[in-house]
Amino acid sequence: EAGVTQFPSHSVIEKGQTVTLRCDPISGHDNLYWYRRVMGKEIKFLLHFVKESKQDESGMPNNRFLAERTGGTYSTLKVQPAELEDSGVYFCASSHILGDGNTIYFGEGSWLTVV
Amino acid sequence: QKEVEQNSGPLSVPEGAIASLNCTYSDRVSQSFFWYRQYSGKSPELIMSIYSNGDKEDGRFTAQLNKASQYVSLLIRDSQPSDSATYLCAGGAAGNKLTFGGGTRVLVKP
């Protein structure tokens, strides 16, 4: 069974440009999460989808970030326009159900560098 | 105060010894906890979850939760060089939203 896959693995863009990150969750997982780790900080929650609906987007830093999950399968996270402080690792994660005993599986992350 | 705090390390242990990792959390964090292991450039991988006070053992790993002291720990027995990684402590909340600590880097020396 394929794990959570993310694309691209690495991206270097200039300030002001747009970047779109993609996440393919494990097949059948209704819950999809985006997290981010910026340099020197802990991994922080961005948002949570249940199927195609945004369940919790309390961690989204500002309106330059737009996440979508059309059809409830893969998700994209767009940063437009990118700023220097957006550099970091963006992790996607998925899980089958909610609640205790459920495992959240992470992808390897998309490393974003804004120059 | 951070919601979940860990010593960044590195924690250096000789092969075969016990590695002891600690994590404290604030009132804002839920009462379910997870330990993830992350190798450099790889995805965080869940190794232990603990929901109630006391100890939970799984192979060479033991997690301990003390809700009164707001403290969760992870012991790695018979440490191997392959255990060298960053260990992330995370608190879980509704919707399985995780709050992570900064991670503790563990170095097991042969």
Q: Kindly determine whether residue A55 and residue B101, on different chains, have CB atoms separated by under 8 Å.
A: no
Which residue from A25, A46, A40 is spatially nearest to B99, judged by alpha carbons?
A: A46
Tell me if B108 sits within 8 A of B80, measured CB to CB. Answer: yes
| Model pLDDT for residues A17-76, shown as the tens digit of each residue | 999 999 999 999 999 999 999 988 999 999 999 999 999 999 999 999 999 998 889 999
| Model pLDDT for residues B7-60, shown as the tens digit of each residue | 988 999 999 999 999 999 987 777 789 999 999 989 999 999 998 999 999 999
Query: Side-chain half-sphere of A102: how many Cα atoms within 13 Å?
Result: 19
Question: Distance between CA A102 and CA B106 in Å, rounded?
Answer: 26
Determine the pLDDT at residue B79: 98
**Residues forming beta bridges with residue B45, ordered by sequence position:** B37
* Residue from A10, A41, A42 whose CB has the most chain B CBs within 10 Å, to mutate: A42
Residue B49 contacts A, CB cutoff 8 Å: yes
Q: Kindly determine whether residue B36 and residue A55, on different chains, have CB atoms separated by under 8 Å.
A: no
Kindly tell me if the per-residue pLDDT of A100 is higher than 80: no
Q: Kindly determine whether residue B43 and residue A101, on different chains, have CB atoms separated by under 8 Å.
A: no
Determine the pLDDT at residue A103: 84
Question: Distance between CA A82 and CA A3 in Å, rounded?
Answer: 28
Determine the pLDDT at residue B93: 75
What is the percent of chain B where pLDDT is above 90? 80
Determine the pLDDT at residue A70: 86
